[in-house]
Structures are given as C-alpha cells and as structure tokens.
Structure 1
Amino acid sequence: MGSSSNPQGLPFLLLLFLPALRELNAGAPSMSYQLTAVSAAPPGTPKFWATGWLGPQLFLTYTSGGTAEPWGAWRWETQESWFWERETWYLKTQERLLQEALRLSKGAQTFQGLVGCQLNSDNSSQPTARFALDGKTLLTFDPMHKVWLGDTPEAWNVKTSWANESQRAEKDAEFLLTTCPQKLQSHLQKGHGNFQWKEPPEVRVGARVGPESAWSTLTCQAFSFFPPELELTFLREGKPQLKPVKEVEAWPNGNGAFHLRGTLEVPFGDEGLYSCEVQHSALTSAITVKFETIGGLPLPIRTSLVAGILLFLASLAALVAFVIIYRRRHGRLVPWMFRRQRGADDVGSLLSVPDSAQDPGP
C-alpha cells in the first residue's frame, strides 16, 4: 500500500467530524469527502487536500495541483474513463471555495469540510454538508432549501460570498441529493467485492523505562489492518492482564488501512513476563508477541537469585571461619599454596609451606 500525500492533516479533521462520520457509517452504505485548506502550509506540503471514503474505506485522495486518485482496493474497481476526471473537477472546485473562505476569515489557519450522503433502507438518501473554521463548526448546508446556515460574522462573510457565485447553491444541492447517491450506488454495484476487503495486522511491541526506573511502559501496536475492528489484549504469563490499559481507537493510516496502539505500565524488570495478543477478522488465529526484559531478569527471579547468592556467601564465610578456628585450636596454621620453579622449565608443584612452618606430625 502507498501512503497518503498529506496524512498529517487527517487526524485533525477526523477529530472534528468524527461524530458525523460515525453517523454516516452506522450500518447503511455511505460516501463522504473530507476537505482541508490551510493558510500557511509547511514546506513541501499542499495548501489543500481531500480524501474520499466509502463507509470506513478510503477510496480516493487528492492534493492541490494534482488529480483525484483511487486508493486501496478501489484502484482495481472498473469505472468509466471519465469517472476520475469528474472527481478531479469536483475537488478542484471545492479547493477554490475553501481557499476563498479561508481568505475571507482573517487570521484563520484552517478551513475544513465534510460533504457526503448515506443511503437509507428505502433507497432514499440522507445528505451531509458541514464546514468548520479552526476546529469550530461554522456552516451547514440545507440542500432542500438551498441555503447555508451559520450566524457568526465569519459565517456571514463566507455564505454571502458563496451565494453570490452563479448557481452555487443549486449545484451543491444537486450534488448532495442526486450526484452523490448515484456515485455511491455505482460503487456498490461495480466494487461490491471491495467491501469484503480484509487486511491482517502487523504487530510490534516495545518497552521503555520510566523516569524513576521503577516502572516500564509496554507498548503494543497493530499496523495496516482492515476492517478497523481489532481486539488488543496484554497477557501476563499467558493470562489476560486486568490492570488499566491505555488504548487509543483505531485510526486511519492514510493509506486506507488502520492502526491502533495500547500501553501498559509494569514493574521495571518484569517486561519479559508479558505478551501482547491481537485478534482480527483477517487472521486465522490470534497473534501473540512477547516483550523482552529491559531491566534484567524478572523481579521474582532476581529476588530468588539474590537470596541464593547471599545464602551461598554466608555459608562459604561460615565454612572458612570454621576451618581457621579448627586449625588454630589444634595448633595448625592455615595452609597456603605457592609455586616453586624447577630449573628453566618453569614447571611448578603445589607445596605446603616450608619445613619450618609445616604442620607437626600426629
């Protein structure tokens, strides 16, 4: 899979419109376009980008100066030759409108939009058109009455500008009520197999020591999986861990798949007792990855080793003391070993102390 041309803007947009996206994606088929324009883009990044979504699946990307491109499994969908040209034309129009709105909002940094539709069970559609300025909802569009709704001074400036453009409201209403449902139905017919697309996760684990070295933070991450539903569990010696686990929701990678991360704090040195288990519908069996100990052996083993070493040293000291006391009480000196050289061969033998200090006979 590729990477989005501007994935860094995606989480911010999702945070803003996540309730609306969940409403769109709640069971019924849906299609949505997420639009972002910025007043000052970092070097090498565009001032406008857009992503298209069919339910939770990314199917389209666009950046200013480029063309709309299919994404994920939708690159193999059979469509008319003009299909993507029409998508490019629509997104270029949205780019111009959002950048114009951003210029009218003095001092603003980001203008965003969520535009789409959802098919109901009776084959009717439910449109959505919401716009935000610097993370706060600014405007909504009512396609039935062909009006933009918003009461702030910035909202009045933008909707007045858009309303002055020839047939702007009529075009937006037609897109939401007719074009969007038609395109969604076309995707459902020609790319219905893509909705069964599954991608198994790649799992990585790691650990880092806390500032006081008393605790370690375990991290388990699942990458590039689809659909977004995934279960991540920390295990201690094979048993599910009941301690609080900090887990983030599954978020888009920017390439159509998702990622998720969970963290858990454990005593320093006990990392090797833990593992991470990941279950996903694309897997035939769960993936389990063990953590490596970064602080030496686990605490129970360290405690046992230290106790054993201390007991051994105490026993050795007691034995040495007993030998010394015993020999002194019986008039025997402590024997020492030394090497006596024999000629030039440097071949020695282990001897007791010289005769004048040797032990007396019995």
Structure 2
Amino acid sequence: MVPVLLSLPLLLGPAVLPETGPYSLIFLYTGLSRPSKGFPRFQATAFLNDQAFFRYNSNSRKAEPVGLWSQVEEMEDWEKESQLQRAREEIFLVTLKDVMDYYEDSAGSHTFQGMFGCELSNNRSSGAFWRYAYDGQDFIEFNKEIPAWIPLDPAAANTKQKWEAEKVYVQRAKAYLEEECPAMLKRYLSYSRSHLDQKDPPTVTITSRATPGRNRIFKCLAYDFYPQGISLHWNQAGKMPASESRGVFPSGNGTYLSWVEVEVPAQDRDPYFCHVEHSGLSQSLSVQWDEAKRAKAESKVATRPQ
C-alpha cells in the first residue's frame, strides 16, 4: 500500500507563463481517530499560495472548489478529483490506525496530518516537500534526493517498510514532487494567476495610549493588504527603537492585517514614524503620529462625564 498522495494521470499541454512568482500548490490532510460531533474523520484542503481553492471531507465525499474558484469553469474535473481524494482518505486512515496499533492506544483520541506540495518561481520548480505528523509531532518525511522515506518516529519504521515495499512506489513519489505537482500547478495558474497576482496596498493608522507609568504606546496598524508579506517598523531620528511586532493575520476578507507597537517616554517629543514596505506600494511609506489629533482625542477623554 502506497502513501499515495499520487494523483490520477494528467493530460497536460505545455504551459507558458511570464517570469514571476513564487507560486505554491499545497495539500493539507487531517485525520482524526475520534472526531468531535459535527467534525469529519478526514478532511483535505488544497491551497494555491495562501488561498484555499478546494476542500474535501469524509462526510460529503466530494471535492468542491471554494471562493473565487467556484466560479471558474473547466479548472478541474471535480468528479475525478473526488475519486482521488476518496482513495487518499482510505490510505490515510489506514496509516493512522497502524500507528495507533503500534502504540497500543486505540482508545485515545489521536490526530494524523499530512502536508505536501511544490513551488514555482520564474516558471521553474523551486522546491517541494512531503511530510506527516502524528499528534503534532514529526512522523515521517520524504527525501526526494535519496530518494526515500525518512522515519522521524519509532512507529514510522513500519510505515517506511510498507511504503517502500516496491521500489516503484518511491520513484512515483519522487516523480510526483518533481514533475506532476509542478505541472499541475502550472495548469492551475492558467486559471488563477490574475487573482494570485493581485496587490492590495495597506491602509495605515496610528493610535496612542498611556501606560500606567505615564509612558505612551504608539501602535501602527496596517490592514486590508495582500499578499501577506509586509515590513513594519518604527523610526525615530534615523534610528529603530525597540518595538514589538504582532505578526501577520488574516482579516477574514481575503486580505491581511499586522501591527507594531513602541513605548515612548512621556517627556519624549521627538517625531516617531511608522515605516511600511509592501509590494502593493509604489514606494515605502512613512506615517507620523498626528499630535493635533492626539490632543483632540485626549481632550474628549478628559471632558467625558464620570
């Protein structure tokens, strides 16, 4: 039995794309030994870059496009994709059971996850990976250079033996990562590039609040931007004061938000600028806290009825 996340044969013509990217095609699988009520035992999501474009689960037994891709015709034969995902589901859950049997823990609640995919940059394959985790810990991964499955957990030695029972299975896994996955990604990009290439610049606002020690906290918030790569930092008199970044988070509408904070001594009246760099901006952006607006806001707070 193979780890077969190998897909059905593809009949792909040559695809010519402008030099750009990177673009990625990633599949995320999750199997649960004891799913909670309302949760499927197995589910799969496919991503183009950071955008989910189809989902499958063991309840519906159907692979279905999501978001903008539900409006794209002929991007995929969804019945064939559903058949493929059903086959992957069966193998995936068998592997989960094998691991539980190894640890003699069939009564517990356990999770098995798989992630695999490839990347294109300048119309060439620039990376691929295939790995699994059991209960959140690394389990096994594929090294396409050897090629071989590398056990990362005691139970994975049995999985490796099963998956490498015939040499052809290893070669097929290598071919999937190096040939089939990039070819599939190129085909999907012929339908999706305009969406994945969108660049929405961030809207930037700065707020201020007082700390118990009477210092001030300046917060620079950038939101409604895409793609998610962004650089935010504070600048004061040509220096970068110590600041705290909160990372990048989805906004829920297909865009992202991020913010960075800096603590300023109450007596410090030097100007502070939030410096922003993003691919949606024609040039970097520096935004200064508006002292007039700050004074007006603080005046409203001071006169508010107690």
TM-score by length of 1: 0.54
Q: Quote the Cα distance in structure 1 between the aligned partners of 2:44 and 2:251.
A: 15
CA shift, 1:89, in A, is 3.8
Q: 1:126 to 1:295 in 2, by over 3 A?
A: closer
Aligned to 2:155, what secondary structure does the other structure show? helix
Which residue of 2 is the match for residue 200 of structure 1?
Answer: 201
2:219 corresponds to 1:219: yes
Which residue of 1 is the match for residue 26 of structure 2?
Answer: 32
More strand by share: 2
Which residue of 2 is the match for residue 247 of structure 1?
Answer: 245
Give CA-to-partner distance per residue, 1:167-204, whole Å, 9 cap, x none.
Answer: 97676556435432321121233333334212233445
Give CA-to-partner distance per residue, 1:70-116, whole Å, 9 cap, x none.
Answer: 4565455443461x344444444444444444442446744322211
Give CA-to-partner distance per residue, 1:264-285, whole Å, 9 cap, x none.
Answer: 22346989x7675644333468
Which residue of 1 is the match for residue 151 of structure 2?
Answer: 150
Indicate the structure (1 or 2) with the bigger Cα radius of gyration: 1
Which residue of 2 is the match for residue 260 of structure 1?
Answer: 258
Q: Is the 8 A contact 1:199 1:225 kept in 2?
A: yes
Which residue of 1 is the match for residue 304 of structure 2?
Answer: none
Q: Is the 8 A contact 1:52 1:60 kept in 2?
A: yes
Q: 1:274 to 1:172 in 2, by over 3 A?
A: same
Q: Quote the Cα distance in structure 2 between the aligned partners of 1:50 and 1:161.
A: 23
Q: Quote the Cα distance in structure 2 between the aligned partners of 1:207 and 1:36.
A: 42
Q: Quote the Cα distance in structure 1 between the aligned partners of 2:66 and 2:295.
A: 40
Output aligned runs, 1:278-289, within 5 Å: 278-283=276-281, 286=285, 288=287
2:56 corresponds to 1:58: no
Q: Quote the Cα distance in structure 2 between the aligned partners of 1:257 and 1:101.
A: 36
User: How many residue pairs were aligned?
Assistant: 266
Q: Is the 8 A contact 2:56 2:64 kept in 1?
A: no
Q: 1:39 to 1:225 in 2, by over 3 A?
A: farther
Which residue of 1 is the match for residue 74 of structure 2?
Answer: 79
Which residue of 2 is the match for residue 117 of structure 1?
Answer: 118
Q: 1:277 to 1:146 in 2, by over 3 A?
A: closer
2:188 corresponds to 1:187: yes
Q: 1:243 to 1:126 in 2, by over 3 A?
A: closer
Q: Quote the Cα distance in structure 1 between the aligned partners of 2:295 and 2:41.
A: 45
Q: 1:265 to 1:130 in 2, by over 3 A?
A: same
More helix by share: 1
What's the RMSD between the two structures over aligned residues?
4.6
Q: Is the 8 A contact 1:127 1:176 kept in 2?
A: yes
Aligned to 1:137, what secondary structure does the other structure show? strand
Q: Quote the Cα distance in structure 2 between the aligned partners of 1:52 and 1:225.
A: 22
Which residue of 2 is the match for residue 316 of structure 1?
Answer: none
Q: Quote the Cα distance in structure 2 between the aligned partners of 1:208 and 1:47.
A: 47
- Give ranges in structure 2 of 5+ residues lacking alignment: 1-19, 300-306
Give CA-to-partner distance per residue, 1:113-144, whole Å, 9 cap, x none.
Answer: 22112457796685421112344322123568
Q: Is the 8 A contact 1:59 1:256 kept in 2?
A: no
Q: Quote the Cα distance in structure 2 between the aligned partners of 1:220 and 1:169.
A: 50
TM-score by length of 2: 0.62
Q: RCO higher in 1 or 2 (8 Å CA, sep ≥ 6)?
A: 2
